[in-house]
Amino acid sequence: MLVQGREEGLVPGHPTVNPGRCLVNSWLHPGIYFTVNPGRCDVSSWLHPGILFTVNPGRCLVNSWLHPGILFTVNPGRCLVSSWLRPGILFAVNPGRCDVSSWLHPGILFTGNPGRCLVNSWLHPGILFTVNPGRCDVSSWLRPGILFAVNPGRCLVNSWLHPGILFTVNPGRCDVSSWLHPGILFTVNPGRCVVNSWLRPGILFAVNPGRCLVNSWLHPGILFTVNPGRCLVNSWLHPGILFTVNPGRCDVSSWLHPGILFAVNPGRCDVSSWLHPGILFTVNPGRCLVNSWLHPGILFTVNPGRCDVSSWLRPGILFAVNPGRCLVNSWLHPGILFTVNPGRCVVNSWLRPGILFAVNPGRCLVNSWLHPGILFTVNPGRCLVNSWLHPGILFTVNPGRCDVSSWLHPGILFTVNPGRCDVSSWLHPGILFAGNPGRCLVNSWLHPGILFTVNPGRCDVSSWLHPGILFTVNPGRCDVSSWLHPGILFTVNPGRCDVSSWLHPGILFTVNPGRCLVNSWLHPGILFAVNPGRCDVSS
């Protein structure tokens, strides 16, 4: 229970935390996960987005400035922390003995007991979970953002792995028959491995440097290190793929910035340019001159045949040029996966970053501007598309019949009306739109990252929904006239609820199934489980 307490002796805007007893007079910055005093706690401060802050299960004094992205698991026994903790800190508690039967929440970096450890909990997004290099039994649900280094000795993995997972699978032996979801870093069996699963976007896929068969569909954001020994690849590689081929020899005298994966020149290459952060730079498997400025996040696989590139390539570009023949006179922007003309194609348009363009399996006219990150599977039946398609869109058009003349924005998963639906709104990036299993009118602005399951009963939505929202609208009845911001999980009052507040990004907001008034400003990254019994929140 959150107790609003006195502010005497506290610096305004500073929290006093403490599951047991603890004084916190610091400013907590973004990335904080704040589990406030299950015993007693005075919180009169502003807690900022995304912080993971598990304070003192025993006793601890914290008088430091905590900065964004800190994983701060304080004192399982006793601990004094009076130092400056800076962002990106990994705080591995007790490498000797550890008993973990708790709920681990998002953003946690959890290096679990390299000696002994029991894990029976639910692991949530953003967790770095290095599981028992000795022995380990994992039968739990692993959630997005997890770094999961699974038992290099022995391990069975039959669970569902979700987005953002770093999954280093058994370099000895491994059986993988699960679904791997987006954002996965998947280092597959450098010994032997069979992978027949669906790999989703954001995957780092280091495929068997010994032997490996890959017949699966690899999706956007994949880092695909293909077999420097031998490998068969018959799959579809999608946008944002990092494809590191053949480490060999190179001279690097440039400034390399943080987070760069730099596998240079399997043949020979001279790089005297400024390479920026997050760049994967696989230069010239044949020969190539690069005199341009390469920006952060660029994957640049130059000229498997022959190519002249004197343009400015922007960050995150995967550029596989002309397997057949093709003229490219345009500016290619960041994150583009450009597989040109498997049959025949003339492209004189401006292609924007992250586009996967599989053109016309049947027949299709595309006269629009395609923007970054688009996965465009055109017309499995018949369809006219005269709209502007924006980045990151997965567009499965009209399994029955559909007229789409709207502006579709980046990252949208748009499954159009299995029954009937009228969509005349602007759909923004990252939206998962399961349109009206019954009947529904949507005239609102839907923003990026929204999972919008519209009222299986009845629902009127005239609000602005923002990116990253999971919006399960009132299976009973609900009036929503607020601004919902990105990353919100908003399960609205299955009983009754009045929400007139501003909800901000990254919030998990389970609103009072009993009764609840929320008039406060909730900030990003907050896990906010509101009073299943009764709750008054005005802090």
| Tens of pLDDT, residues 478-494 | 223 222 332 233 333 32
Contacts of 294 (CB under 8 A, 6+ apart): 273, 274, 275, 276, 279, 281, 300, 313
Contact 165, 180 (CB under 8 A): yes
Q: Please tell me the predicted confidence (pLDDT) of residue 293.
A: 27
Residues 383, 388, 390, 393: what is their CA dihedral angle, to the nearest 10 degrees? -10
Query: Facing residues of 499 across strands?
Result: 480, 518
Tens digit of pLDDT for each residue in 234-290?
A: 222 222 233 332 222 222 222 222 222 333 322 323 332 223 323 333 333 222 333
> Which has the closest alpha carbon to 199: 157, 246, 163?
163
Tens digit of pLDDT for each residue in 421-458?
A: 223 222 322 233 333 222 222 322 232 223 333 322 22
Below-70 pLDDT ranges, the chain: 1-539
Q: How far is CA 228 from CA 193, 207, 221, 243, 521, in A?
A: 15, 9, 21, 12, 53
Rounded CA gap, 209 and 189, in Å? 9
Contacts of 430 (CB under 8 A, 6+ apart): 392, 410, 411, 412, 448, 449, 450, 467, 468
Rounded CA gap, 245 and 249, in Å? 12
Q: Please tell me the predicted confidence (pLDDT) of residue 113.
A: 28
Burial class (CB in 10 A: 0-12, 13-18, 19+), 365: exposed
Contact 386, 401 (CB under 8 A): no
Rounded CA gap, 360 and 315, in Å? 28
Phi, psi of 529 (to 5 degrees): -95, 105
Rounded CA gap, 302 and 319, in Å? 7
Contacts of 470 (CB under 8 A, 6+ apart): 450, 451, 488, 489, 490
- Which amino acid is located at 181 in the chain? H
Q: Please tell me the predicted confidence (pLDDT) of residue 432.
A: 32
Contact 162, 186 (CB under 8 A): no
Phi, psi of 165 (to 5 degrees): -85, 135
Rounded CA gap, 82 and 363, in Å? 66
Q: Please tell me the predicted confidence (pLDDT) of residue 117.
A: 28
Rounded CA gap, 165 and 127, in Å? 8
Write 188-193 long-range contacts (CB < 8 A, 24+). Answer: 188/212, 193/169
The encoded tokens of residue 43 equal: 């919180």
DSSP output for 485-500:
-TT-EEE--SS--EE-
Contacts of 318 (CB under 8 A, 6+ apart): 239, 240, 241, 242, 243, 299, 300, 301, 335, 336, 337, 338
